[in-house]
Amino acid sequence: MASIISHSPEETFALGRQLAASLRAGDVLALAGDLAAGKTHFMKGVAAGLCVSSEVTSPTFTLVHEHRGGRLPLYHLDLYRLESEDEALKIGLDEYLDSDGVTAIEWADKFVALFPPHTRWLRFRVAGENEREIEGVLA
């Protein structure tokens, strides 16, 4: 799978914004990568590209942020703090995966078996102080 190097947070944001132009209702984005690898910054760009006006932050402690009012609803989930597939299902993951908007899940690689075949996997890696390697953006 092709990867791209982002040289700044602004470039990571722009990549998310660019991807958003092609997103449709029912799309699922699964984001994987270490802490500080750029996942949330990328999601800020996706939200901007979907014309979401609410602030996008990491849902690490709330687990789910729902953003409405844009071109499509954006459901932003974070599975970092969850320990089991059962916990993921209890927060409604399966319902979000079959939703009327775009569902984006950070730390999705913790529960790979729960995701539908049409899931678009994006992998983030710290490649340098300000550089991030993002795999899966170019499909």
pLDDT in tens, the chain (139 residues): 689 999 999 999 999 999 999 999 999 999 999 888 999 899 999 999 999 988 887 777 678 889 988 999 999 999 999 999 999 999 999 999 999 999 999 999 999 999 999 999 999 999 998 899 999 876 5
SS3 content of the chain, % helix, strand, coil (to 5): 30, 25, 45
Ordered by where they begin, the domains of the chain are 3-135 (3.40.50.300)
Q: Give the CA angle between residues 59, 60, 65 to the nearest 5°.
A: 15
Three-state secondary structure call for residue 10: helix
Three-state secondary structure call for residue 79: coil
Specify the length of the chain in residues: 139
Treating both helix axes as pointing N-terminal to C-terminal, what angle do 39-49 and 9-20 enclose, rounded to 10 degrees? 40
- pTM reported for the whole predicted model: 0.91
